[in-house]
Structure 1
Amino acid sequence: MMNTSSRLKAQASCPLVEHFLRRKLSKENFDRFIPNRSAMDFDFANYALTQGSKRNLDEVTSASRKAYMTQLAEAMNQNRTRILAFRNKPKALLSTNHSDSPHQNPKPVKPRRYIPQNSERVLDAPGIADDFYLNLLDWGSSNVLAIALGDTVYLWDASSGSTSELVTIDEDKGPVTSINWTQDGLDLAIGLDNSEVQLWDCVSNRQVRTLRGGHESRVGSLAWNNHILTTGGMDGKIVNNDVRIRSSIVGTYLGHTEEVCGLKWSESGKKTSKWWFEEHTAAVRALAWCPFQASLLATGGGVGDGKIKFWNTHTGACLNSVETGSQVCSLLWSKSERELLSSHGFTQNQLTLWKYPSMVKMAELNGHTSRVLFMAQSPDGCTVASAAVDETLRLWNVFGEPPKTTKKAASKKYTDPFAHVNHIR
C-alpha cells in the first residue's frame, strides 16, 4: 500500500484526475446579489489580486509550454475572471473522458476467479485399472457419468446422485478397456479386451449391437462423430464404423506401430489434421481440441516426456512446448475461459490449471495419492471428474460458473446416431 507522502506525490503528478464544471454564463450571473462568502474561494481571490495579473501567456514563446500552461489553468480552475461568488460551488465530478489527458486511467481489471483447492465430492472407484493406455471414464451430455471398473460399467447420475450398474462383461471377453458416450448422451460404446465393441442403449439398459472384425486385440480408445464410431486398438489400427449399416467398417487407418491410446474428433467433426506430430518422446494419450480456435490441438506426453505441446493442425507447426515435470495423463479445455487443465502422475499426482497462451499456473489441485489417469468434464463445463489409481473419483469445481447463453446461442442438439435405423441385424 502507498504511504501518505507517496499518495501526495501521485496526486501531484496526476493533476487531471478530476475536472470541475465551469460556471455557465447566464443572465442571473449579472444580477446584483450580495456575495456569498461560503461559495467564495479566498485563496484564488488572493492569487488573482496579487499574482494573477502578472501571468501573461503572450510572453511565453514555446507553443508546447503555452499549451501546457493553458491546460494546467483549466485543470486548476484558474481561468475564472470573477472573484465574488453569488451561488454555491458546484460539486466536483469525476471526468469520464480523459482522452485529452496524458495520464490515462487504467482499464478495470477483471477480478481473479476463486478456484476451490479441495474436491467437492469423493466417490469410491474400487478395482479401477492402473493402465495408462485405457480410457475408462466419460461424462455424457445427459449429465450421467460412466466409469468402468474391471468387467463392470457403472452409471452415476450427477443430477440425482444415484448409481446403477449397466453391464458386467463375461470374463472371456473382458475386462472393459474403453467407454465413450454418443453426443446425445443416450448411448454408450464399450470397448473390450477381446477386440469387440458393444453398443448400449442406456435409457432402456439394453445392448443394441456388437461390432467385430475391426481389431485383432483390445480396443483402448473410442470417439463418436454422430453415426461414426472411431476405434483405436492395441494392434495400432484406427477403424471408422458406421453404426447404421450392417457391415459397419467404412475405413481403416494404418501407421501406428504401438497401441492407439487416444482418439478425439474435433468439434466440427471434420478431419482438420493431415500431419504427423512426432516431437513427443513418450506415449501420447492426452488430446484436447481447443473450443475457441478450431485448428489448435493440445497434446500431452507420458513418463519419458512430460510435456504439453500445442499444434496448428493446418500447418503442422508446433506453437509451444511446456515442461510439466511429470507424466501428462489427460487434458481438458475450459468451455468459457482460455484455460487448460492437465492431470499428472508421479510425483505430485495433481491437477494443474494453466492460463493460455501464457501457460502460467493458475492453481494446483491436490488430493489424489496416485497418478490421475482419467478426467471428464460435465456438460455445463464447470465441474471436472478425475479418477486415479488410488481408487477414488473426485469432483472439482475448477472452471467456475457456466457460460451465459442467449436465445440465439441455444445448446447444440445432436442427432441420435441410430435415428435412421429401423432395426440392427
Structure 2
Amino acid sequence: MDAGSHSISSGKSSAAAAVQRPPLQEAGSRPYMPPLSTTSRNPAAKCYGDRFIPDRSAMDMDMAHYLLTETKKDKENAAAIAASPSKEAYRRLLAEKLLNNRTRILAFRNKPPEPENVFAADTVSSHQAKPAKQRRYIPQSAERTLDAPDLVDDYYLNLMDWGSSNVLSIALGDTMYLWDASSGSTSELVTVEEDNGPITSVSWAPDGRHLAIGLNSSDIQLWDTSSNRLLRTLKGVHESRVGSLAWNNNILTTGGMDGRIVNNDVRIRDHAVQTYQGHSQEVCGLKWSGSGQQLASGGNDNLLHIWDVSMASSMPSAGRNQWLHRLEDHMAAVKALAWCPFQSNLLATGGGGSDRCIKFWNTHTGACLNSVDTGSQNQLTLWKYPSMVKMAELTGHTSRVLFMAQSPDGCTVASAAADETLR
C-alpha cells in the first residue's frame, strides 16, 4: 500500500503489499489449534479384569471326573496293573494319555500376569494411566498480520487499546480505526482535523463502549462508539500533547508532555478535579490498580511514581498532590506498567532502550522485589512468573515493538511496531 493511505489492509508479510484489501480485513483463516487432551487413559497401559473365566474347551473333563470320583480301591487296582509286566503296554498308555496330561485340568488359554509384586504392578499401572501434563499451546507465528500505514513511530505515545467488548482500537496518523475481533469487521471512527492531529493516545472505558482519544493539540475527545457520536471535548487540561490515558470508573486520568497528570470527572462540567505533579518531562505511562486506590505513572524523566487516592488533596485548587513513592531505579523512560491481577500491591514496570529491565515493586513499601534484563530486540517474550523463565519468544516484527494490547479473555496479544504492521 502507499504510505499516505489511511486504511489498514491485511496480508502476509511479503506478497500482500501488492494487493489492496479493505481496512483490517482478516488475512487468512485462523490456524487450527488442537485442544488440550482430555483422555484419562494411557493406550499403552495393559488392563486386566478382576477374575478369570475358564475356557471349557481347554479342559479334559473325563480326567477331571476320574480324579474327583476315584476310590481307594480304584487306586490300588491301578497300581497293581501298572506293576504287572504283562500289562506294560496298558501302563505306558495310561501314563501318556492321562497321568502326564494333568496340566490341562483348569488350564486357560490366556494366562494371568505373574503376581510376584502386585502392589508395585498396580502402582506402575496407575501412574501410566495418568496423562502427561499438557503445556500451553503457543503459536510461533502471528495468526494475523495487518498493514498499518502512517502508524506514528513514537515510543512515548499510546496508540492502541483492546476494549472489554472485544474491539481493538488503533490510531494511524489522524484517523482512529476500530477492528471487531469477534467478526473481523473494520470501521473508521473519526479522522481529526489536521490542526489537532495526529492522535497521540487512546483508551477504552471499562464499559467497552466509550473511547477516550488524546490529541497532539492537547484536547481530549470522548466518543460513544455504539453510535459513532462525539460526546464532549475536554480542553485546557494540558499545555501540549496528551500521550497517556487511564480510566478509573468515571475518572479519566490524562498525562501530558507538560509533565502534569490530571483526574477528569467526565460526568461534570468542571471536569478537572485533581492534579498530580511530580514528573519533569513527558508522562508516557499511566495505570490504575484494580482496586482503583493507587495510580502508577511513568515518565521520560526515568521516574516511577505511585499515587494513593487517600493522599489526594481535598482542595483541587491546591493544584498538587503528594506521591506515595518516588522510585528512581530505571535508567530510561518508564512506559510499560501492569498491576498484578491477583495481588493488589504488586506492580510490574518496564524501562526503555537504555534500561531494558522489567522490575517488580511492592507498592505498599516501595521496595523493588526483582529486576530482569530482557535484552529485547524487536520480539515479544512470554515469561513465567515468579521464576521469570522464558516460555516463548514471538518474532516477526522487523522494527521495535511500540504498542501492545491484550484481549479481554487474556489469551491473545496484539502488537504494533515501527515496521507499520499489526500482528
Q: Would you say same fold, with TM above 0.5?
A: yes
- SS for the counterpart of 1:117 is coil
How far apart in 1 are the matches of 2:283 and 2:355?
17
Shift of 1:258: 1.0
Shift of 1:325: 1.6
- SS for the counterpart of 2:153 is coil
How far apart in 2 are the matches of 1:313 and 1:97?
52
How far apart in 2 are the matches of 1:226 and 1:116?
35
Alignment partner of 1:353 out of 358, 382, 387 = 382
Alignment partner of 1:218 out of 214, 217, 241 = 241
What does the per-residue CA deviation read over 1:117-145, in whole Å, with 9 as the maximum and x for residues that have no partner? 00000111100011000000001111111
Alignment partner of 1:236 out of 259, 264, 270 = 259
How far apart in 1 are the matches of 2:121 and 2:131?
13
How far apart in 2 are the matches of 1:195 and 1:291?
32
Shift of 1:108: 7.6
Q: Percent identity, please.
A: 73
- SS for the counterpart of 1:112 is coil
Identify the residue that residue 35 of structure 2 maps to in structure 1.
none
Count of matched residue pairs: 299
How far apart in 2 are the matches of 1:119 and 1:90?
54
Note the 1:362-401 alignment, pairs <5 A: 362-394=391-423
Note the 1:3-402 alignment, pairs <5 A: 110-271=133-294, 273=306, 274-326=324-376, 348-394=377-423
- SS for the counterpart of 2:370 is strand
What does the per-residue CA deviation read over 1:193-227, in whole Å, with 9 as the maximum and x for residues that have no partner? 11110001111101000111221110000001110
- SS for the counterpart of 1:167 is strand
The code of the aligned residue for 2:338 comes to A
Shift of 1:257: 0.7
How far apart in 1 are the matches of 2:327 and 2:343?
19
Shift of 1:293: 1.6
Q: TM-score, normalised by structure 1?
A: 0.64
- SS for the counterpart of 1:244 is coil
Shift of 1:109: 6.1
What does the per-residue CA deviation read over 1:347-391, in whole Å, with 9 as the maximum and x for residues that have no partner? x31000001111111110100111111011111111111101111
- SS for the counterpart of 2:171 is strand
Identify the residue that residue 27 of structure 1 maps to in structure 2.
none
Shift of 1:110: 2.9
More off after superposition, 161-170 vs 87-96: 87-96
What does the per-residue CA deviation read over 1:302-344, in whole Å, with 9 as the maximum and x for residues that have no partner? 0111111011111111111001123xxxxxxxxxxxxxxxxxx
How far apart in 1 are the matches of 2:132 and 2:383?
19
Shift of 1:111: 2.0
- SS for the counterpart of 1:376 is strand
The code of the aligned residue for 1:262 comes to G
More off after superposition, 307-316 vs 267-276: 267-276
How far apart in 1 are the matches of 2:119 and 2:359?
48
Shift of 1:96: 11
How far apart in 1 are the matches of 2:340 and 2:138?
21
How far apart in 2 are the matches of 1:153 and 1:95?
66
How far apart in 2 are the matches of 1:150 and 1:287?
24
Shift of 1:270: 1.6
- SS for the counterpart of 1:131 is coil
What does the per-residue CA deviation read over 1:141-168, in whole Å, with 9 as the maximum and x for residues that have no partner? 1111100011110111111111111111
How far apart in 1 are the matches of 2:168 and 2:120?
54
The code of the aligned residue for 1:237 comes to R
Shift of 1:94: 5.7
Per the alignment, do residues 108 and 316 of structure 1 end up closer, same or farther by CA in structure 2, a change over 3 Å counting? farther
- SS for the counterpart of 2:286 is coil
How far apart in 2 are the matches of 1:116 and 1:271?
35
More helix by share: 2
- SS for the counterpart of 1:287 is strand
What does the per-residue CA deviation read over 1:392-415, in whole Å, with 9 as the maximum and x for residues that have no partner? 110xxxxxxxxxxxxxxxxxxxxx
How far apart in 2 are the matches of 1:299 and 1:112?
27
Shift of 1:90: 8.2
Q: TM-score, normalised by structure 2?
A: 0.64
